[in-house]
């Protein structure tokens, strides 16, 4: 199965999940106050760390390996189950100390309940990895959509009943439970207690999974230290404002990049010794990721104030100011987030780990400087840190493929020009219809539609890849 075929089903799944999550994000933000969102953001900082450690990179190792034995799969499964139970216990023990650190007593119950997601997800992690290895993305998509829809319905009902932050907790629990049950039903593989965990099996993937886990652990700090620092040294309300802007930034970013990376990794693993083919496939992937994320995040950043006023209300206007700087950050991260697939496929998680350490140093230093100012300056510095990290990450990625960094810029420059033309169009429109005066959804939608058409026409004229893609799609239809 090709990257495009995998991406089709992943994209359908992500589009439907984005639609559901958009309703969830907008609707719940009107019911749950910023301070309650801030409590959830504090808890998520801890939970995200556990998510990175729950399988120690073993799922990625199962996909990457050319050949698998049943004993290896069985050992990985039971290791994941034990890790899930262990992390659940650790979160329960840390709940009270962390609530004292944040000075938020309600955080104790939230953390204990969210800790239950680890056993639920860990017991299905191996089944999901095997399904992805077999490119069963159509079935995976069906599971993810149904779980997402049902969990959001539960969250909305609870939010309307006044459960506040616990409606968000219920969303996570229900989604993990439903996904686990369905992945077990889909996968033909079943665990055995006969051999349990064999050390010799784990040693086969130890180098790969250990370096990947260390990278994920370090990357966690560079991704989540911002929330910890803001929550500790600013306030829960400011963290809630920042967290919503960050979620809006990640909303399209995670969905689109997730589709690309998830579709890319199993396919690249099949021809992991062919550098030229990997480079061509990867460059095409980041081209199409940027084709979508670059114009979308440019529009979100430019029209952040009318977007927040229309969809979220006046209480979230500070978020609009933050979003202006997080939007361009998302464009950079949409590329950087795909690099892991290539490092893992080439079994160079050692380089990936070193780059992760550099990234953590740059990001944490940036956050410590930014917190001394206001939240807007914090967001600006975050953007500059991502620009700085773009160059070493892409340089070393191309180097392990025996390629050149210039090839990356040659591939994506038409998108930069098309976005530039769209920005000029936005400035022209802004003179007649200032963004600060837009209060109507239809007006905003019409303006964005005109900007998108301008972008697409410019891209079609500038990019040979875009023209060839459209030509081949039309040829297949005829």
The boundaries of the domain holding residue 62 are 3-403
Query: Does the residue 236 lie in any domain?
Result: yes
Query: Does the residue 304 lie in any domain?
Result: yes
Query: Does the residue 77 lie in any domain?
Result: yes
Query: Does the residue 453 lie in any domain?
Result: no
Q: What is the mean pLDDT of each run of 10 residues along the chain (478 residues)?
A: 51 61 65 72 71 70 76 86 89 88 84 89 87 78 83 86 84 89 89 78 73 77 79 79 82 65 71 83 86 90 87 80 89 86 83 89 91 89 92 92 89 91 91 82 90 91 72 55
Query: Does the residue 107 lie in any domain?
Result: yes
Query: Does the residue 142 lie in any domain?
Result: yes
Query: Does the residue 341 lie in any domain?
Result: yes
Spatial CA neighbour of 226 closest among 326, 152, 112: 326
Tell whether pTM > 0.85.
Answer: no
Query: Does the residue 239 lie in any domain?
Result: yes
How many domains does one find in the chain? Answer: 1
- pLDDT value, residue 299: 92
- pLDDT value, residue 46: 72
- pLDDT value, residue 229: 86
What is the Cα–Cα distance from 254 to 13, expressed in whole angstroms? 13
- pLDDT value, residue 1: 47
């Amino acid at each position: 199965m090709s990257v495009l075929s995998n991406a089709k089903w992943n994209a359908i799944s992500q589009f439907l999940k984005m639609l559901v999550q958009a309703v969830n994000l907008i609707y719940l933000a009107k019911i749950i106050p910023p301070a309650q969102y801030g409590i959830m953001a504090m808890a998520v900082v801890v939970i995200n760390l556990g998510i990175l450690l729950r399988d120690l990179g073993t799922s990625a190792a199962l996909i990457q390996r050319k050949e698998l034995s049943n004993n290896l799969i069985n050992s990985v499964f039971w290791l994941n189950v034990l890790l899930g139970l262990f992390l659940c216990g650790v979160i329960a023990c840390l709940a009270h100390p962390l609530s004292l650190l944040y000075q938020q007593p309600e955080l104790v119950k939230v953390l204990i309940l969210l800790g239950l997601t680890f056993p639920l997800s860990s017991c299905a992690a191996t089944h999901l990895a095997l399904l992805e290895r077999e490119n069963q993305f159509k079935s995976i998509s069906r599971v993810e959509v149904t779980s997402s829809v049902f969990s959001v319905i539960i969250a909305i009902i609870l939010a309307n009943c006044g459960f506040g932050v616990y409606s968000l907790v219920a969303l996570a629990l229900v989604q993990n439970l439903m996904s686990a049950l369905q992945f077990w039903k889909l996968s033909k593989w079943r665990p055995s207690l006969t051999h349990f965990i064999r050390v010799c099996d784990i040693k086969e993937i130890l180098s790969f999974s250990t370096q990947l886990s260390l990278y994920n652990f370090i990357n966690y700090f560079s991704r989540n230290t911002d929330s910890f620092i803001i929550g500790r040294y600013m306030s829960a309300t400011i963290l809630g404002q920042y967290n919503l802007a960050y979620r809006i930034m990640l909303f399209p970013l995670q969905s689109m990049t997730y589709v690309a990376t998830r579709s890319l990794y199993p396919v690249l693993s099949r021809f992991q010794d062919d550098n030229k083919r990997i480079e061509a496939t990867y460059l095409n992937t980041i081209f199409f990721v940027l084709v979508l994320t670059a114009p979308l995040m440019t529009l979100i950043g430019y029209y952040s104030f009318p977007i927040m006023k229309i969809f979220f209300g006046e209480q979230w206007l500070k978020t609009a100011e933050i979003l202006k700087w997080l939007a361009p950050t998302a464009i950079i991260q949409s590329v950087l987030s795909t690099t892991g697939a290539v490092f893992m496929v080439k079994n160079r998680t050692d380089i990936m780990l070193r780059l992760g350490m550099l990234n953590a140093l740059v990001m944490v230093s940036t956050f410590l400087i930014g917190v001394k100012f206001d939240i807007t300056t914090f967001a600006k510095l975050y953007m500059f840190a991502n620009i700085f990290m773009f160059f070493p990450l892409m340089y070393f990625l191309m180097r392990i493929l025996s390629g050149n960094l210039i090839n990356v810029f040659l591939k994506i420059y038409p998108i930069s020009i098309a976005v530039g033309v769209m920005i000029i169009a936005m400035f022209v429109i802004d003179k007649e219809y200032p963004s600060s005066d837009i209060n109507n959804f239809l007006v905003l939608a019409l303006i964005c539609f005109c900007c998108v058409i301008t972008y697409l026409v410019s891209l079609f004229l500038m990019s040979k890849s875009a023209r060839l893609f459209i030509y081949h799609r039309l040829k297949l239809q005829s």
